[in-house]
Structure formats: C-alpha cells, structure tokens
C-alpha cells in the first residue's frame, strides 16, 4: 500500500503540474501586441508552491514543473526545439531561485521576519538575470525584448511569490482582529486602487501605497498579502481596459509594462514588510500582556498583601489581596497615606517606625497593627517590611507584605476573655463549682459552693466537705462516687447539705472526669445546684396529683392519657364504666381500638391530626355498639387535646375526655323532629296563603269586573253608591291578598330584588304626584325635598323601593287629619360608607311608646281602633321593613302620640354611571292605594274624533271580544285575520286618506306573524309616531318583550285583555298629545320601561303562579288599568291575568255569551284531543297544530275563568318551543296532559 506521505506528495505534485499547465496556457495566450505580452506566470507560482513545502519536495516539484510546461507547450503546437529551449530556460530560472532561497533563508523563508526579504530579492534578481541571458542566447531575443523578458520575470517573482508565501499555515496565533477592521481595510485598498486607476489624467500611482501601508498596520500579514494581490488585480484589469496612470508613461507599451510591473513589485515590497513589522509588534504586545497577566495572576492569588510605599508614606502599589482583606478598592487606595487606614491612636507610632526605617535606624519591621476596613470593621494585620533604595543609595520607600491575622487575634482575645469570664463566673455564680482529685479530696470550691454547704474554704478542702452531707445521704453519695471513679465516667448525685444555720439544702451535683496527656484520670470538676425549691414543688405536685386522681375518679367524664404511639397510659375509673372493663386493663391498649373496628380509623385520623401539629385540639363524635346492660347503639362525644410542656412547649401526651351522650342524642332527635314539624307547618301556612290568595282572587276578579260593568249601566244614585261600596270592598280585599302574598314570598325566600339604574328624584316626585290628589281631598299638604348631593342615577330595585315609599307615604296621608306629610331624600355617611336616607314625616295621630316595638310585626297596628277607624291590614310596615333589610338597610320609626310620626329608610347608596339607562318613566294614572280614602278615578277619555284602529287577530273568540270592547269604547275598528291582511289593510286605508291611528297586533298569526308584519310596515315608512303598534299576546317574557321592541312595536297588551287596560292604551297612544308613544323607554336585558311605573296600585306580586320553565318575565309590576310600553302592565307576568284587582272578569256577557262559551269549550276539547293523540300513541304528532291550539287557549282561557289552565297552556307552549327532541316533547305532553285535564 502507498503510504499517506507519498499520497500527499503525489497530490501536491499533481496540483503543481495542473497549476503550471493552466498558467502556461494563460501566459502563452496573451497576444504579442498586448502590453502584457512579457508576462510569464508559471515560474512565480511554482517557486511559491515548491518553497512552501520541505526540501524533499524540491526535486519532485522541479521535475513536475518541467514536464508540465513542456507538455503544455507541445500541446500548443510549438516545435520540439522551441519547447526544449523554452522549458530549459524556465526550469533553470525556477530551480536557481528555489535553491538560492533555500540556501540563504534557512530552508524556508519566513515572510513574518524582515531579514528574509533581502535574500529573496537577490534570488529573484539572480534567477531573472540568468534566464534573460539564456533567453538571449537560446531564443535569440533582441535587446529590447530581452529587457522586457528580464523585467517581466523579475517583477512577477517579486510581486507574486512573497504574497503567496504569506498564506502558508502559521503556528503562532495572535489576538483576532475584528471583522469590520479587516473588511474595511481591504475595501480601502481595493477602492483606493480602483480610484487611482479609474482616471488617466494624473500620475497618482503613489496614492495606492498608503492604503497598503494602512492595511499592513491594521490587519496583519496574511490579510495584507490578500490586499496586495487584490490591488495587483485591479491595476492589471484597469490597465488592460485602457485606464489608469500607467497609460501616461511614454515610450510605448514596453515602458508602460515596465512601469506597471515596477508599481506592483514596489507595493509588494513595501506593504509586506510593514505587515511583518506590525505582526511582530502585536506579538511583542501579546507576550508582554501575557507576562503581565501571569505576574498579576500570581500576585492577585497570594493570600498576603504585597505593597510598596513611597518616601512620603503613600501607597504606590498593592495586589488584589488588599481588596479581599480590607474591602477597599486599589484604585481608591493608591496615592493615599498608609496611616489613613490605621486606628487614630496607632498613627503616630506607625509614622515614627516608618521614619526610623527610612533613616536607616533598623532594616526590618515586624509588627501587628489594627486597620479599618471599608465597612468600618477593625482588622488585625501582621506587617513585615524593609526599606527600598536605589543604586546610589537614595530611599525609595518601603516594600513588604501584610497578613490578615484577625481570626487568630480574635481567638486569642476570646480565650483570654473566656478565662476571665470563668474566673468571674466561678466567683459570683450562685451554683457551686468544685474540683477534686481521684480520692474525692476537694482542691477548689467557689464562693457559691461554700455558701450552699455552709462551710469555710479551709473546712471544705480535702475530705472536710464530706462531713457537711446529711448523715442519711452519705453512704449513697460515697457509693455513687466510687462507681463513677471506677468506670471513669461522669459523677452525678443528689444530697442534702446540713447547713450550719440548721436548714437542709437539697443540691444536685454533676462532675466531669479530667485526664492528663497520658489518658490517666486525675480528678473531677463539677457543679452543685440548689434544687430545694424543685424538691418542694415535686412534693406539692405529688399531693396535687393525688387530689386530681380523686377528682378524675369521681367525675362522669372518662379521662384518658394517650402516649406517642397511640397507647393508653392512663384511664380514669369512669373510663372503665363506659368501656365496661377495669381501667387497669385499658393501660397499654391502643386508644383507637377501644371503640370498635368501625371507629378505629376515625379515631386514628383525629390523633394523627393532633400529632402533626395541624390542630391543638378537636372533637370526637362516635357511635358504638353497647354490650351487657347497655345493648343497642350508644353515642360517645368528647374532646382530645395535646398537652404541651409549659417551658419548652413540646408535645407531650394527648388528653381525651369522653362522655356518654346517648340520652342527649335522643333528646336532640326529638327536638329536630319538632322543629321539622314546625317548619312544615310554616310551609303549609305559606302554601295555604298562596293557594287561598289565588282561589279568592278568581271570584274577586269576577266581582270587581262585573261591578265595573254594572257601574257603566243606568243606575240611580243609591244604586251607584251601593255598587261603589262593592267595588271599594273588592279592592280592599285584593290589597289584603297582595300583602299576604308578599309576606308569604318573603318568608319563603322566593322574593328576589332586581337592582337596576334608577332616578331617585323621579321616584320621590312620582310618589308625591300620585298621592297628591288623595292628600288634597283630605286637606293635607304633601311636599318633598331632594338633597342636591345625591347622584343623578343610583343602583336599586325601583319597584320595591317604590313599594316602600308608597306604603310609608300612604300611611302618612291615611293617619294625618290635618297638617302635612313630607318626604326628604338625602345622602349620608355611616361607618365610612355612603347611604341613602329616605325620611317620611307626618303630623298625624302618632304612635304610643309601648306600641313602637311591635309596629313592624305582621297584622300589628297602634291599637285596635286604628283598623276600625282608618282601615288596613297591618302588613304594610312589616313588608316595608323586610324589603329594606333585603336591600341591606334599616327602617326605623320615631313618634310622639298626637304630634306625628317619622319613618326613616337607610340603605346603601350605590351611584350608577351617568350614561346608564334609567328605569323610571313617568306615571300616568292612579289606581288603588291604601290611603284610607276612595281611589281617584282617571277621567274618561274623549273619543270625538273616532280614530280608526286596526285589530290583527286570528283567534275567533278573541276577535269577537276585542271588537266588542272597541265598540263599547265608541271606536271604529277593523279586523285583520293575519299579518299579510293587516299590511294590506294599512296600505289600503292610507291610500283612501283614512289611515289607521293604532294597530293592536297579535304576535302569532298564520302566513305572516305580528312581528314580521310590524317589521315590514316599519320598512314601508310607517313610523312609530304616525302608526303606533301594540302587541297582543299571552306571553310576556323577556324574549317576547325584546322581540317586540326589535320589530318596532311600542307597547304590549296581555291576554286576556281588560277593558281598563285597553282604555289606558287608547288614551296613551291616541289622545296623549304629540308623543303617541314615540319616546318609549327601554331598560336593560329586555326589562322595559313602564309608562306608569310609579303607580301606587301597581302591586308587584299579585299571584304566585310563576311559570317554571319559560324565561323570567320582564317586569313584576302589574298595575290595574295600565298599559306598558313593551312592558307587562296589563299582561300575565308573575301574576295570572284573571287575578288582577280590576279585571273585568269574563266579558262574554256583553258579547253573546253562550255562543262564545261553546266555541271556547270546543277549542279546549280540540286541544285535549291533540294532546291525547300524542300522549297515547307513538306517532310523531302535529307539533305545529299543538302549538297553535296551546297559543289560542292561553290567550282566551282567562276570559272564561280558566286562568290556571291558560297559564299551563302558555307554559307548555314555551317549553315545547325550546325542545328539539321529539321523544322529549312527547314525554312532556304526557306529563302535562292529566294536569291540564284536571285544571279544566
């Protein structure tokens, strides 16, 4: 196999031959008439390549060079004679140059050294001269051609060989030069050369040299060589393209070529030596830096501070140990006097020593000094120094080193201090300190020991101390001493001193053995401590333990002490009785296992809780099985707690106290059962009240309705008075029912507040405005005041706040015969929280002091004559008080009998955003309020103009009823059977010049429903002002309200429709000036603004038949005779429609009752048939038909006394609408079928 060395040599030779061949072809290809015709490149390249390798490669390189050139020339087509002569000349030149350089440059020229350049220059010159002479002889060159030959060969060698040699691999690495400097320098050379050769006007060749010198200084030798070669390339290319200062040379192309070669050679021989010098300087700097760093490293890692002080006493040099020891920076310390760092009291002495050394009194100094560190801490330094002098004997200061001996100094000081403290302690300690030999003879005793023993020092020395021990303790002490000495271990004992004053002093003694350097026992050193008090305390404790044992054995609780492993270490007598075994048998058993396996884990978990430190104590509650006479289940209850050491607070035993609570549990169960029965009774009462209110409201609804109808007939004065009394009685009954329902809801927790933004000013003003006619009729002045500091808008439940205000103001008007009633609203602060204060004060009859405590109780009034004289139920104030508490406030009363009463509501004041939408539209009418006076009636509206009204209704029964009401109101009404018919009729009436002024639009109709019809009318240009549209529907939920509003409707009338509600709607939207409902106000999340939100008769809870599945109704307030603008004033919300205080009842008496009743009965039966078909079969069912039947029944049931059935139909319709799954729908219909049958 061929060795790797030979393989490398072959590769090098191949590369050389290929390079020579290529360069020979390139050089031969230059035209004879070109300025570059004399250029011959192979020789220079071959010299650089061969010299770059070892001498071993020379003969192979020269042979390869010769063969490659000869072969290339033959390949060009030269004759053999010319090839031989030419190759011989070139080979001789190349070989001569290589041999000369090898000889004079120690084998290989090192271009990094300046001394290699002269030998190379001589070798290049000798080679060029020899080859030019041979060319003159062998090739017959003329003189001028021969000069160009000489110049070209010498110049190429000089311009190319040194730069190429710079790219040899170098072993010495210097600090890297930044890329930006390298790129910038090379770019500077290339751009500078390009700039010079870009013009042919001025001879600026000399300007290139400075750029190369700059590069040589900045970027090192190898990169300078690259810059030189690039400069050559730029110059050659520019000259070949006919540009540059070379063209200014006179004498033809030959002289220009000589000038160009001279330019390139000169730049090479200037730039490379500069680069070499720069490299050498960098190497020197690197070496100096390395040497300095090494020295600095050595100095900086010394633990000693090396220093030098000048003759003036200033620091001249310091190593980094100074910073480590003192914390002071060297830069801050240099130049300052060394005495500045000493303690003030040491400075004068240190300066004296320093001056003495400088004067030659002594040659060395070895002292300890205290210096101050940067943090002010005192450090102890050992300093060794000697004077430094120049060759002529001049003083240069001091040099030396210092060592930090602070720790040794402190240890020495601490030892001395400790010895002094021991001496002081031994002299003054109350405990006795003693030393003795092996035989027990005292060798030292402290004053405290002498005081305890009652001896003098002379009496105690030797064996004398033994005689002071109580005679009963001497033998025991002697035995303990002998045992300790024989075992060479610690001695400890307790005995009594018989003091000379006759007292007995108990002491505890402990002594440690002392040994010499050979390990032999030499004696003992120890202490005596007075434990007389402890002994007395132990006696008292033993007596107390005896007493506690007596107590523990005679109490009914079982007491246990539990050890660290859960074992019982003590059990009282009663513990044995509870667990039915002797207490001594419980000792050692696991406490958790004493109560049976069922409770074992529970008890273990409680013990673990205490042992973990998570709790100091906890309760135990266990049910165990009795045995013997206590058969059955027994309940045990008690507490367990950790006992801690009074001084260390470490955990000790766990104390458990257990008692049998079986009888207590039985009594508690009986009490619980009685409480549950009481709660059931309360629930039964609430249910009874709610059901009775519903059942009573239904017939009362008919009574009030028929009474109103009767009042509109021709009656004489007496009959009118009697009918009015019936109406008043019915309304009073409805108020009572509403109050009872309110109390029932509050007690059951079903009443929820609805906080929204509202205007409290408007709320107070509306109350005053609504009750002012009643007050005026009684001759009572009604006034109010509003604090200007109150926010414009606050957060609260406007409905419930209005209920409270109307109740309080209504009571004020009721119980005031003359004088005034005043409402004041103001802001106040209570416990740093802002509150709203509403004060209602009257000058009425007042309340007796003994009645003030019960005034807020249910059904309570000041006295029994109040109800007889003024009427009322006594529920209003109770409801108001509880509503105030639900708002987080209080309702208080102050009163003086015969002078008046003041009620004060105080609730949290929460300001709303200024731009919040308020829920406070104006009130329009008065209905019923419990003021003790007859209700004020709204004046009958005028209908002289008989405006046209369009009724869009597909339900035949509702069609007849609504049209009958319209006729009764003397209005011209047309009927549309669906939404499409309604749109066409509106357009037709408008075209005839007799437009409709109002539309009552059913929401659900065939073809086009009411919502879509409204949207289309609004898109046709019929505005809210020109054509108000009110919704007619049995559903009054938030979704329905929102849908009406979005479609473009202004208001809402619920089914069953009431005459008074219709009358108010007509008055509001046809005879209310220019507004026509245009400014209807809407609230948040579908809650809309009622046109008569503040009517005193608008009771919030008329019934409790709230739908369970549909969305919560938009508003709870339903006022008699009211119409809402997208609200529920005349609709079924939480209240059943028929249960309204002023409902007209079934109006069929006015419309041919038997025919409508028959239609209603048939429609009801049709609904039941559809439900039965779905409920009793598995057929898919006609859901659209069922929804239509339910909707029609929900809208008409109330007219015929089937209010509950109507509510159930409305609820079922809504629930079916929200269920997509047919099977779930069918199950729902099956579950509701029987209930609706029963309700009908």
In whole angstroms, what is the distance from residue 692 CA to residue 1104 CA?
A: 11
CATH class entry, domain 948-1057: alpha beta
What pLDDT, on the 0 to 100 scale, is given for residue 942? 42
Residue range 1174-1183: average pLDDT? 66
% residues pLDDT > 90 (the chain): 15
Supply φ then ψ for residue 777, to 5 degrees. Answer: -65, -30
CATH number, span 780-911:
3.30.565.10
Q: Who wins on pLDDT, 809 or 550?
A: 809
Q: Who wins on pLDDT, 920 or 349?
A: 349
What pLDDT, on the 0 to 100 scale, is given for residue 692? 66
Burial (Cβ within 10 Å: 0-12, 13-18, ≥19) of residue 936:
buried
pLDDT digits (tens, 9 = 90+) for 1075-1089: 444 444 333 333 333
Q: Does residue 1096 have a pLDDT over 60?
A: no
- Domain 302-404: CATH superfamily is PAS domain (3.30.450.20)
Q: Does residue 902 have a pLDDT over 90?
A: yes
Q: Does residue 915 have a pLDDT over 70?
A: no
Q: Which two tokens stand for residue 728?
A: 């008043």
What pLDDT, on the 0 to 100 scale, is given for residue 873? 55
What pLDDT, on the 0 to 100 scale, is given for residue 797? 87
Confidence of residue 1135 (pLDDT cuts 50, 70, 90): very low
Q: Does residue 174 have a pLDDT over 70?
A: no
Q: Does residue 1120 have a pLDDT over 70?
A: no
Asked which of 578-592, 929-943, 994-1008 is least confident by mean pLDDT, the reply is 929-943
What pLDDT, on the 0 to 100 scale, is given for residue 1016? 93
pLDDT digits (tens, 9 = 90+) for 922-949: 333 333 344 444 444 434 444 445 688 9
The HSE-up count of residue 431 (CA atoms within 13 Å, CB side) is 12
In whole angstroms, what is the distance from residue 1099 CA to residue 743 CA?
A: 13
Q: How far is CA 824 from CA 769, 805, 836, in A?
A: 15, 11, 10
Q: Does residue 175 have a pLDDT over 70?
A: no
Q: Does residue 1151 have a pLDDT over 80?
A: no
Highest-pLDDT range among 249-263, 615-629, 961-975: 249-263
Closest CA relative to residue 877, chosen from 927, 934, 806: 806
Residue range 818-830: average pLDDT? 90
Whether omega for the bond prior to residue 1056 falls within 30 degrees of 0, making it cis, is: yes
Q: Which two tokens stand for residue 784?
A: 């109010």
Supply φ then ψ for residue 1118, to 5 degrees. Answer: -130, 110
- For the chain, helix, strand, coil in percent to 5 are 55, 15, 30
Confidence of residue 894 (pLDDT cuts 50, 70, 90): very high
Residue range 218-229: average pLDDT? 88
What pLDDT, on the 0 to 100 scale, is given for residue 624? 81
Residue range 271-284: average pLDDT? 84
Closest CA relative to residue 953, chosen from 966, 964, 941, 962: 962
Going across the sheet that includes 305-309, the strands are 315-318, 305-309, 395-404, 378-389, 365-372
Asked which of 86-95, 630-639, 777-786 is least confident by mean pLDDT, the reply is 630-639
Residue range 366-395: average pLDDT? 84
What pLDDT, on the 0 to 100 scale, is given for residue 1179? 56
Q: Does residue 1117 have a pLDDT over 70?
A: no
In the block, tokens 């003024």 appear at: 870
Q: Does residue 784 have a pLDDT over 70?
A: yes
Confidence of residue 171 (pLDDT cuts 50, 70, 90): low
Residue range 257-273: average pLDDT? 89
Highest-pLDDT range among 3-17, 876-890, 1119-1133: 876-890
**Contact status, residue 821 vs residue 840, Cβ threshold 8 Å:** yes
Collapsed DSSP state (helix, strand, coil) of residue 504: strand
- For the full predicted model, state whether its pTM sits above 0.95: no
Collapsed DSSP state (helix, strand, coil) of residue 612: coil
Closest CA relative to residue 890, chosen from 835, 811, 932: 835
Q: Does residue 1091 have a pLDDT over 80?
A: no
Q: How far is CA 1150 from CA 936, 967, 1199, 1202, in A?
A: 26, 11, 12, 18
pLDDT digits (tens, 9 = 90+) for 586-613: 889 998 888 888 888 889 888 888 888 8
pLDDT digits (tens, 9 = 90+) for 74-103: 998 889 988 999 999 999 999 999 999 888
What pLDDT, on the 0 to 100 scale, is given for residue 1141? 35
Every domain of the chain and the residues it spans: 1-168, 177-299, 302-404, 424-535, 555-751, 780-911, 948-1057, 1157-1239
pLDDT digits (tens, 9 = 90+) for 1016-1039: 999 999 998 889 999 987 665 566
- Domain 424-535: CATH superfamily is PAS domain (3.30.450.20)
Q: Which two tokens stand for residue 106?
A: 């120690």
In whole angstroms, what is the distance from residue 718 CA to residue 432 CA?
A: 121
CA dihedral 1082, 1086, 1090, 1095 (to 10 degrees): -140
Q: Does residue 1042 have a pLDDT over 60?
A: yes
The mean predicted confidence, pLDDT, of the chain is 79
What pLDDT, on the 0 to 100 scale, is given for residue 172? 59
Tell which CATH classification among 1.10.1760, 3.90.25, 1.20.950, 1.10.3470 matches the domain 1-168.
1.10.1760
Beta strands in 962-1083 (DSSP E): 972-976, 998-1002, 1029-1033, 1051-1054
In whole angstroms, what is the distance from residue 1133 CA to residue 1154 CA?
A: 30
Closest CA relative to residue 953, chosen from 918, 1001, 996, 999: 1001
Q: Does residue 571 have a pLDDT over 70?
A: yes
In whole angstroms, what is the distance from residue 688 CA to residue 573 CA?
A: 57
**Contact status, residue 87 vs residue 70, Cβ threshold 8 Å:** yes
Q: How far is CA 132 from CA 83, 129, 149, 579, 1050, in A?
A: 16, 5, 6, 133, 119
pLDDT digits (tens, 9 = 90+) for 737-749: 777 777 777 766 6
Confidence of residue 486 (pLDDT cuts 50, 70, 90): very high
What DSSP character marks residue 376?
Answer: S
Same fold, 1-168 and 555-751: no
Closest CA relative to residue 792, chosen from 642, 912, 888, 924: 912
% residues pLDDT > 70 (the chain): 81
What pLDDT, on the 0 to 100 scale, is given for residue 826? 93
Q: Who wins on pLDDT, 521 or 282?
A: 521
Q: Does residue 696 have a pLDDT over 60?
A: yes
Q: Does residue 528 have a pLDDT over 60?
A: yes
For 8, the enclosing helix (H) or strand (E) is: helix 4-28
Q: Who wins on pLDDT, 697 or 128?
A: 128
Q: Does residue 1240 have a pLDDT over 80?
A: no
pLDDT digits (tens, 9 = 90+) for 305-349: 888 889 888 988 888 888 888 888 888 888 888 888 888 888 888
Topology classification of domain 555-751: Beta-Lactamase (3.30.450)
Residue range 1035-1063: average pLDDT? 77
What pLDDT, on the 0 to 100 scale, is given for residue 1142? 37
In whole angstroms, what is the distance from residue 510 CA to residue 433 CA?
A: 10
């Amino acid at each position: 196999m061929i060795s790797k060395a030979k393989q490398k040599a072959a590769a090098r030779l191949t590369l050389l031959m290929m390079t020579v061949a290529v360069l020979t072809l390139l050089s031969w290809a230059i035209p004879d008439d070109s300025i570059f015709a004399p250029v011959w490149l192979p020789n220079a390249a071959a010299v650089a390549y061969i010299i770059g390798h070892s001498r071993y490669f020379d003969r192979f390189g020269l042979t390869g060079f010769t063969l490659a050139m000869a072969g290339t020339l033959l390949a060009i087509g030269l004759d053999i004679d010319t090839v031989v002569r030419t190759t011989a000349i070139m080979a001789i030149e190349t070989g001569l140059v290589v041999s000369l350089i090898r000889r004079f440059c120690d084998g290989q020229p090192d271009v990094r050294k300046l001394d290699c350049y002269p030998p190379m220059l001589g070798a290049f010159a000798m080679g060029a001269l020899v080859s030019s002479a041979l060319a003159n002889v062998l090739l017959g060159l003329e003189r001028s051609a021969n000069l160009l030959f000489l110049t070209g060969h010498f110049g190429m060698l000089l311009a190319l060989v040194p730069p190429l040699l710079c790219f040899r691999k170098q072993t010495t690495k210097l600090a890297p030069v930044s890329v930006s400097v390298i790129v910038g320098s090379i770019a500077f050379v290339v751009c500078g050369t390009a700039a010079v050769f870009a013009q042919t006007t001025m001879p600026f060749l000399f300007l290139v040299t400075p750029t190369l010198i700059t590069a040589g200084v900045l970027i090192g030798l190898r990169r300078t060589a690259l810059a030189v070669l690039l400069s050559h390339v730029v110059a050659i290319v520019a000259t070949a393209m006919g540009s540059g200062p070379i063209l200014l040379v006179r004498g033809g192309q030959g002289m220009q070529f000589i000038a160009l070669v001279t330019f390139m050679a000169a730049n090479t021989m200037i730039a490379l030596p500069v680069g070499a010098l720069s490299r050498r300087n960098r190497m020197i700097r690197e070496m100096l830096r390395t040497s300095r760093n090494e020295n600095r490293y050595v100095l900086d890692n010394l633990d000693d501070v090396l220093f030098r002080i000048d003759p003036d006493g200033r620091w001249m040099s310091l190593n980094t140990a100074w910073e480590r020891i003192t914390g002071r920076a060297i830069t801050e310390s240099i130049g300052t006097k060394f005495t500045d760092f000493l303690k003030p009291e040491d400075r004068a002495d240190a300066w004296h020593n320093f001056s003495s050394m400088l004067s030659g009194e002594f040659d060395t100094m070895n002292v300890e000094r205290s210096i101050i560190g940067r943090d002010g801490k005192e450090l102890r330094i050992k300093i060794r120094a000697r004077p430094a002098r120049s060759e002529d004997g001049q003083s240069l200061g001091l040099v030396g080193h210092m060592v930090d001996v602070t720790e040794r100094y402190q240890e020495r000081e601490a030892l001395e201090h400790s010895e002094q403290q021991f001496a002081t302690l031994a002299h003054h300690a109350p405990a006795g300190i003693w030393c003795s030999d092996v035989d027990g003879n005292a060798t030292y005793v402290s004053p405290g020991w002498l005081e305890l023993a009652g001896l003098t020092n002379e009496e105690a020395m030797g064996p004398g101390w033994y005689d002071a021990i109580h005679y009963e303790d001497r033998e025991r002490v002697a035995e303990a001493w002998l045992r300790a000495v024989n075992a060479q271990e610690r001695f400890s004992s307790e005995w009594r001193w018989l003091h000379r004053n006759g007292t007995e002093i108990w002491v505890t003694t402990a002594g440690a053995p002392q040994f010499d350097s050979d390990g032999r026992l030499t004696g003992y050193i120890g202490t005596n401590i007075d434990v007389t008090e402890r002994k007395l305390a132990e006696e008292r404790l033993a007596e107390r333990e005896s007493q506690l044992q007596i107590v523990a054995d005679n109490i009914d609780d079982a007491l246990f002490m539990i050890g660290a492993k859960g074992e019982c270490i003590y059990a009282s007598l009663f513990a044995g009785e509870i667990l039915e075994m002797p207490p001594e048998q419980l000792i050692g058993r696991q406490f958790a296992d004493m109560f049976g396996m069922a409770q074992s884990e529970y008890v273990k978990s409680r013990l673990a809780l205490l042992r973990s430190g998570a709790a100091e104590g906890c309760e135990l509650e266990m049910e165990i099985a009795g045995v013997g006479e206590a058969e059955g289940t027994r309940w045990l209850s008690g507490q367990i707690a950790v006992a801690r050491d009074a001084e260390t607070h470490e955990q000790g035993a766990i104390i458990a106290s257990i008692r049998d609570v079986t009888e207590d549990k039985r009594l508690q169960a009986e009490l619980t059962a009685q409480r549950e029965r009481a709660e059931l009774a309360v629930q039964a009462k609430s249910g009874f009240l709610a059901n009775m209110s519903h059942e009573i409201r239904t017939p009362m609804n008919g009574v009030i309705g028929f009474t109103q109808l009767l009042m509109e007939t021709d009656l004489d004065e007496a009959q009118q008075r009697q009918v009015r009394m019936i109406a008043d009685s019915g309304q009073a009954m409805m108020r009572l029912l509403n109050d009872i329902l309110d109390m029932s809801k509050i007690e059951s927790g079903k009443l929820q507040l609805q906080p929204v933004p509202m205007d409290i000013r408007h709320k107070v003003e509306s109350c005053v405005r609504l009750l002012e006619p009643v007050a005026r009729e009684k001759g009572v002045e009604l006034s109010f005041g509003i604090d200007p500091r109150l926010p414009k808008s606050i957060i609260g439940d406007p409905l419930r706040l209005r209920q409270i205000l109307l109740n309080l103001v209504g009571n004020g008007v009721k119980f005031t015969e003359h004088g005034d009633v005043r409402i004041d609203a103001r802001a106040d602060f209570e416990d740093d929280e802002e509150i709203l204060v509403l004060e209602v004060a009257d000058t009425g009859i007042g309340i007796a002091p003994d009645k003030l405590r019960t005034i807020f109780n249910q059904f309570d009034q000041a006295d029994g004559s109040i109800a007889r004289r003024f009427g009322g139920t006594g529920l209003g104030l109770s409801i108001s008080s509880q509503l105030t508490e639900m708002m987080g406030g209080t309702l208080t009363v102050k009163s003086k009998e015969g002078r008046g009463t003041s009620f004060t509501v105080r609730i949290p004041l929460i300001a709303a955003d200024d731009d919040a939408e308020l829920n406070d539209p104006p009130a329009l009418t008065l209905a019923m309020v419990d003021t003790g006076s007859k209700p004020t009636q709204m004046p009958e509206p005028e209908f002289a103009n008989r405006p046209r009204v369009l009724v869009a209704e597909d339900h035949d029964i509702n069609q007849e009823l609504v049209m009958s009401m319209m006729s009764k109101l003397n209005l011209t009404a047309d009927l549309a059977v669906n939404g499409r018919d309604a749109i066409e009729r509106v357009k037709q009436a408008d075209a005839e010049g007799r437009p409709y002024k109002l539309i009552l639009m059913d929401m659900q109709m065939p073809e086009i429903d009411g919502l879509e019809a409204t949207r289309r009318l609004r898109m046709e240009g019929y505005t809210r002002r020109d054509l108000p549209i009110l919704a007619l529907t049995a559903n009054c939920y938030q979704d329905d309200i929102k849908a009406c509003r979005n479609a473009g409707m202004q208001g809402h009338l619920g089914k069953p429709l009431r005459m008074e509600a219709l009358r108010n709607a007509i008055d509001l939207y046809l005879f209310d000036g220019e507004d026509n409902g245009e400014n209807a106000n809407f609230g948040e999340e579908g809650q809309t603004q009622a046109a008569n939100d503040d009517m005193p008769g608008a009771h919030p809870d008329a019934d409790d038949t709230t739908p369970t599945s549909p969305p919560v109704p938009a508003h709870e307030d339903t006022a008699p005779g009211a119409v809402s603008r997208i609200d529920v004033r005349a609709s079924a919300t939480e209240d059943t429609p028929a249960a309204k205080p002023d409902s007209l009842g079934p109006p069929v008496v006015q419309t041919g009752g038997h025919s409508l009743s028959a239609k209603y009965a048939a429609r009801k039966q049709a609904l039941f048939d559809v439900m039965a078909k779905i409920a009793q079969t598995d057929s898919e069912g006609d859901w659209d038909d069922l929804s239509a039947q339910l909707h029609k029944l929900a809208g008409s049931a109330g007219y015929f006394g089937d209010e509950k059935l109507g509510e159930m139909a409305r609820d079922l319709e809504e629930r079916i609408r929200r269920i997509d799954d047919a099977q779930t729908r069918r199950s729902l219909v099956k579950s509701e079928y029987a209930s609706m049958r029963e309700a009908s």
